[in-house]
Structure 1
Amino acid sequence: MQRMDESGLRQFDLNLLTVFSALMRERSVTRAGEAVFLSQPATSKALGRLRAFFRDELLIRRGAVLEPTPRAEALMAQIGPLLQGMVGAIAGSVPFDPQTDERVFRIGMSEDVGMSIIPLLSHFRELAPHCGISIRAATYRTIPGMLESGEISTALGYVENMPAATKQRVLRRDGWFVLRDARTPGPVDLDAYCARPHMLVTPRGDLTGLADEALEKLGRKRRVVLGVPDYGLMPQTLLGTDLLCLVSGAVWDALVAIGWGDRLAADPAPFPCDEATIYIAWRMAVDQDPGETWLRAELVKWLSRRRGPSVG
């Protein structure tokens, strides 16, 4: 084996690399320090040492954020994959006991999936009483970047265009259901679906969705009269109205789990829809981490099961 020149390594504190990675990810001295459990002065001092060693400013303040220099970008391209590999190699040899471990799990998820894990959170507190869970709002647009930067280690939701250094698997495939106040007429067929007014969960504020595309293919259309920004507002808003709302099976499952099954009714979508496929994705750097492996197993076990919501 060729002898490696270690003279440069002896002159450099390798702990600075984790600080550098956090600074590149957070673009803030304060947030980077929090990520690596250092005070703001200690993080600033570490940045100063990095600048001196690499003879470059590395990160320059532009308003409220730190912007990397070309030298910093080039360093991160080289160092990032090495750090991920080191984390994976070390983590695999560190045992994990959920009853005593004190780590923080960082999970990104879409809001509809977030509804599904509400009952799971208290269960987590029993299984891992000293661990923290940080849940970040994420969509299919933001999940890839959040995983690539290390902002989250695991993601749940609808994903596409994932970074190369990630793994993923299908968590569940669901059909679509038309929700209504259980006291209103049903089941809802295609004519009733097109005749009644609709509510749409629309974080971006638009009033068209996949149902409109499906109906257009059939030469039909619906009338969306209300858009709400999140799923938390949806069930209460349906009560006492003749509104309809199209949701995935995962959302209906979650509503049943938190007690809405008696007040709302769900009818199968009266037109063809592509399945709603939920994925779990994670960074390859934590693929062999015992704690992250445990977390993924618990999420899969909880979210992949069906609770058999009544339809009618």
Structure 2
Amino acid sequence: MTTTTAAVLGAGSWGTAFAKVLADAGADVTIWARREQVAAAIREYGTNPDYLPAVRLPERVTATSDAGKAIAGADLVVLAVPSQTLRGNLANWAAFLEPDATLVSLMKGIELGTTKRMSEVVVETAGVPADRVAVVSGPNLAAEIAAEQPAATVVACIDMARATVVQRAVTTSYFRPYTNEDVLGCELGGAVKNVIALAYGIATAMRLGDNTKATLITRGLAETARLGVALGADPLTFAGLAGLGDLVATCSSPLSRNRTFGEHLGRGETLEEAQAATRQTAEGVKSCLAIRDLARTHNVDMPITEQVEKVCHEGVDPRKALIALMSRETKAE
């Protein structure tokens, strides 16, 4: 049996943790890091000093700041950069891709301006057919997985044979992947849950109770599913790992960037102050604009997303946003 060769493009928390999963499952992995000092630290010390510094990476993991070197010969090319930077980065990387390499998206966002999902950006920018793109989504907090705490995920691809190849490449004693054909639903669940987690963080900072939080998760899931069905997703996807599972983990965990960012907003900080305090990408902050636009285009009502966008980008006080949500016209569930 031949060894899988993988490139992980992006040396953030999730990219680093996913590289560890791949190596633990038997792959040879090269991480591409934007900064050479990060790549050098991974090569020399087996740790990523900026993200997950306490985690020892397997010997099968190496790193480089040369994307061409990382991609050359890779069967799996894992994309783990901030979603709004994907198009620009991939345009530079596409020429290095092997003819039948599988592109695996770890990104959870909707592109600003185009309202495209990440797999759509990959297809368009890399010039590859959609059946070569797989998406990984689920309750996957990087620090917990790097610590080998048991977790499950979804590998979605319209080509089930390819989804199964990726599934095998990331199956370990602590990481259990399931396959799914609903790429659209999995990606949408992953993107919208970040926005709902911002709302959950705001509610947490306002010291609101479990009734409020349960309401946000449940109604957040309802608006995610409404948009998904309007776009052609399988509604059952939203009851699974890439829907409810990811939403619960991202809302409830203090490890969640989006929830943490929301807490800063809920304490009355501006977007800039929250950004300075967290120093990490909270995908929901930008994606809420694109998701709102997508919902309006398809005439889908997404009240939580609308209010999060207003808090983030229009300076609306979170308390006023809450009043606006609660004073909406009553209706059947």
Q: Normalised by the size of structure 2, how large is the TM-score?
A: 0.26
Q: Which structure carries more strand by proportion?
A: 1
Q: Which structure carries more helix by proportion?
A: 2
Max Rg structure:
1
Q: Normalised by the size of structure 1, how large is the TM-score?
A: 0.28
